[in-house]
Amino acid sequence: MKTPLALAGGLAALLLALSSVYTLSETEQAIITQFGKPVGGVVSTPGLHAKVPFVQTLHRFDKRWLEYDGDPNEIPTRDKKYVWVETYARWRVADALRFFQAVRDERGGQSRLDDIVDGETRNAVASFDLIEIVRSSNRPFTKMEELEGIGSSEVATIATGREKIARRILERAAKITPEFGVELVDVRFKRISYTDSVQQSVFQRMIAERKRIAERSRSEGQGRAAEIRGQKERDVLAASSVGYRDAQQLKGTADARAASIYARAYGRDPGFYDFTKSLETLRTALDRDSTVVLSTDSELLRYLKSSKGR
């Protein structure tokens, strides 16, 4: 009987010892509550600490910067354009005691940030036109000619800009969060997009604009192609004219030279010239089946007669 009792006593003592101490890491801080009420203030020193077992309860909180990722909200801008806006932020538990008393835990802190950040975001977006929210500066567009036909609100002058609007949200929200023991260090726009009802019309306008630009480019290309083809035809015609002229000049020179050679050759013996020309005429004018009736005094028969007499 002593052995089971001793074992039970040992386990009870061990459980009591474990319930009497706790450890904190470098990234943690804690609050001790007794019957639901905080006692002893904030414990932020890392290491081993003691508490009253079974009576006091330990509540741990992270010291590090935490991430807040807001849900998308449909918000109207000042120029009555409905957009979906998503924000994100960075925060930490600056006063663990106040944080515990106000929101109890990190889930409660995220819920409180939803109310604060989303509320300030809604107020800020509703105070500015859409162009102020999506652009941060008056940096000129890369190709302004591609924006011809777009409404003036899309290319209006930026007076505030997205970054300053985000800082405004941060400044106003950061004044509220210390009431809950929270320090808010950064708020940014994660995403801004049109609602479905507006998005289709925007896409159709973008498509029409791009088609107009493409058609203009095609027209310019066709005009340039026609100009190049015309220039090619002119160049070909000019080259052909020069070539034909040079060929005719060479041909004329050759013909003149050939005529001169023939004249000199035939001038040496006119009778031989007459004889060869007569034979050439007979060869080209008559064939094997031709019948020709000539008078006796024909020039073509003159050489035939003289040769017969010989």
Task: Check which CATH number belongs to the domain holding 124 and give it.
Answer: 3.30.479.30
Query: Does residue 28 form part of some domain?
Result: yes
pTM, 2 dp: 0.63
- Tell me what pLDDT residue 146 has: 47
* Residue 105 binned pLDDT confidence (cut-offs 50, 70, 90): very high
Are the C-beta atoms of residues 56 and 39 closer than 8 Å to each other?
yes
* Together in a domain, 79 and 120: yes
- Tell me what pLDDT residue 73 has: 92
- For 187-227, write each residue's pLDDT tens digit: 999 999 888 877 787 788 889 888 999 999 999 999 999 99
Structurally, the chain folds into a number of domains equal to 2
Query: Does residue 104 form part of some domain?
Result: yes
Are the C-beta atoms of residues 51 and 31 closer than 8 Å to each other?
no
With H, G, I as helix, E, B as strand and everything else as coil, classify residue 122.
Answer: helix
Range of the domain at 57: 12-62
Identity of residue 252: G
* Together in a domain, 54 and 165: no
* Together in a domain, 51 and 105: no
* Together in a domain, 188 and 108: yes
* Together in a domain, 106 and 179: yes
With a cut of 80, say whether residue 308 has pLDDT above it.
no
Query: Does residue 145 form part of some domain?
Result: yes
- For 237-264, write each residue's pLDDT tens digit: 888 888 888 888 888 888 888 878 877 7
* Together in a domain, 93 and 180: yes
Question: In terms of pLDDT, which residue wins out, 73 or 272?
Answer: 73
* Together in a domain, 43 and 140: no
Residues 205, 206, 210: CA angle, nearest 5 degrees: 115
With a cut of 70, say whether residue 310 has pLDDT above it.
no
155-187 core/surface letters (b: 16 or more CB in 10 A; e: else): eeebebbbeebbbbbbebbbebbeebbbebeeb
Query: Does residue 32 form part of some domain?
Result: yes
* Together in a domain, 181 and 139: yes
Look up residue 293 and give its DSSP letter.
-
Range 270-274 average pLDDT: 71
Please provide the average confidence, as pLDDT, over all residues in the chain.
Answer: 84
* Together in a domain, 80 and 165: yes
* Residue 300 binned pLDDT confidence (cut-offs 50, 70, 90): low
* Together in a domain, 76 and 181: yes
- Which residue, 194, 214, 231, sits at the end of a domain? 194
Query: Does residue 48 form part of some domain?
Result: yes
Query: Does residue 75 form part of some domain?
Result: yes
